[in-house]
């Protein structure tokens, strides 16, 4: 029974890896709705494996390493492939609005491979996170799950958003390249970002977290799928504001 108890968080972590592996397949096929759903479920597993480890008091080095390996798939490989697919689409006029394996051969440009920078920097960030003892209660640099959610939401905006501005934006090559470079940099930067882990639920000390949750809910209600990258942007901006506030104290 004790051995089974120790393995519960690891089983949840493997659930994350399984979702990420499936998401990789669907990202290559160009099915971004299923890709995004699997990434969201995988990130859910990623949250609950840590939660289960703390509740069961079975945290260990194996779980830490396994967690990073799972994140590398779900929040490293998958967003890199999605961004590459988007860039293939915008660089190849013959494949506009079409995604999938066949479109890889339709473009002669090498620029779409820039999207894989997200995968490389995600791997660097995860390795850095494992040896950085400063990130127990907060993050330094953008967490890979946040980056992954940002990226996998982009093709959904292109398909389901009603505002032409947002649709045109996610199919703009300069926007996509800029997003890739900025997200890659922010992942490995020394920017402190607050964690959504609650030590208690009192308003004092948690106001920035409650504000973020409130804004996130409002954005989801108002702009729906467009809210996902906006929520990540709000998270970064609130963290910067919180850092400046702490420096003044």
Residue 161 has pLDDT above 70, yes or no: yes
Distance CA 57, CA 9 (A): 10
pLDDT band at 105 (very low <50, low <70, confident <90, very high): low
How many structural domains does the chain have?
A: 1
Task: Report the SS3 class of residue 197.
Answer: coil
Q: Which domain holds residue 120?
A: 2-248
Q: Using a pLDDT cut of 70, give the percent of the chain over it.
A: 91
CATH number at 99 reads 1.20.120
DSSP secondary structure code for residue 136 in this structure = S
Distance CA 200, CA 39 (A): 29
Written as six digits, the tokens of 71 are 């994140």
Using the structure block, give the residue that is written with the tokens 């390795």: 127
Distance CA 118, CA 148 (A): 9
Q: What is the pLDDT of residues 44-101, one digit of tens each?
A: 999 998 888 888 888 888 888 999 999 999 999 999 999 999 999 888 755 444 555 5
pLDDT band at 1 (very low <50, low <70, confident <90, very high): very low
Number of H helices, E strands in the chain: 10, 2
Query: pTM, whole model, 2 decimals?
Result: 0.91
């Amino acid at each position: 029974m004790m051995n089974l108890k120790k393995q519960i968080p690891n089983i949840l972590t493997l659930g994350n890896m399984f979702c990420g592996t499936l998401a990789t397949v669907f990202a290559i096929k160009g099915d971004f709705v299923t890709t995004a759903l699997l990434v969201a479920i995988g990130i859910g597993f990623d949250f609950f494996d840590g939660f289960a480890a703390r509740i069961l008091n079975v945290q260990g080095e194996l779980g830490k390493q396994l967690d990073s390996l799972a994140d590398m798939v779900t929040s490293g490989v998958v967003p890199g492939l999605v961004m590459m697919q988007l860039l293939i689409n915008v660089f190849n006029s013959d494949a506009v609005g079409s995604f999938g394996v066949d479109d890889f051969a339709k473009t002669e440009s090498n620029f779409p491979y820039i999207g894989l920078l997200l995968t490389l920097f995600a791997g660097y960030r995860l390795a850095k996170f494992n040896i950085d003892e400063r990130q127990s209660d907060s993050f330094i640099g953008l967490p890979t799950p946040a980056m992954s959610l940002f990226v996998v939401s982009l093709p959904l905006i292109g398909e389901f958003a009603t505002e032409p501005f947002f649709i045109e934006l996610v199919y703009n090559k300069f926007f996509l390249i800029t997003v890739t470079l900025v997200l890659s940099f922010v992942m490995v930067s020394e920017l402190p970002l607050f964690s959504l882990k609650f030590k208690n639920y009192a308003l004092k000390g948690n106001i920035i977290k409650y504000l973020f949750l409130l804004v996130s809910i409002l954005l989801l209600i108002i702009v729906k799928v467009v809210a996902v990258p906006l929520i990540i942007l709000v998270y970064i901006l609130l963290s910067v504001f919180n850092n400046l506030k702490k420096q003044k104290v």
